[in-house]
A = this chain, B = another copy of it.
Amino acid sequence: MSRLIDELRKLPGVGAKTAQRFAFYILRSPECDAEALSNAIRALKAQLRLCSVCNNVTDVDPCIYCSSPTRSHRTVCVVSEPTDIAAVEKTRSYNGVFHVLHGTLSPLNGIGPDQLRTSNLLNRLSDLDEIILALSPTVEGEATSHYLATELHHASADHPLRVTRIATGIPAGADIEYADEVTMSRAMDGRREV
């Protein structure tokens, strides 16, 4: 029992009390439920892997995006983490594929260019029309975008490849009166014809 509690406590946001509640719940539940949970956890690690094309977490290789016949495979949206794919997908307006870096440049945390998973992206540049850098406008995201833009332009010197970045600006529904100066400055720089 205490071994299970110790293991459950490692989950994010779960303390001793919650772990104990989980453990007692599992104890009281039918054996088949406990077995199913145990198997699901084992299966997760056994079956999930990274897509060989885009590095997304997947149970089939290539992943559902990379193997979709209805998506455009000539536009790639580069994101930092697999969870960021959901942020782009919920717009319901993007129809290209993805590429997951599994991190952003952060020298203090030991993440340099070599730790980013970029090689399988650089290898397929000749099949692409546009790469959209959808990295957060944080310090790490900015640094990574600059680094990738340089690399991509360098690697695609012989054919036309559009490299774009998602817009930094005032979030929808917000008031410009309360915008910080960096955001406001970027919103002015990024103005578009209407």
Interface residues of A (CB under 8 A from B): 79, 81, 83-84, 86-88, 90-94, 132-138, 145-146, 149, 162-194
Distance of A171 Cα from B136 Cα, bound (Å): 9
Chain B residues within an 8 Å CB radius of A90: 181, 184
Chain B residues within an 8 Å CB radius of A187: 134, 166-169
Q: In the complex, what's the smallest C-beta–C-beta distance from A76 to chain B, in angstroms?
A: 13
Chain B residues within an 8 Å CB radius of A182: 172-173
Distance of A193 Cα from B130 Cα, bound (Å): 10
* Contact A179 to B171, CB < 8 A, known contacts A193-B162, A193-B163: yes
* Contact A188 to B94, CB < 8 A, known contacts A169-B171, A193-B163: yes
Residue among B149, B173, B191 making CB contact with A165, cutoff 8 Å: B191
Number of copies: 2
* Contact A181 to B134, CB < 8 A, known contacts A167-B169, A193-B163: no
Contact B172 A190 (CB under 8 A): no
Chain B residues within an 8 Å CB radius of A185: 91-93
Central interface residue in A134, A163, A191, by most chain B CB within 10 Å: A191
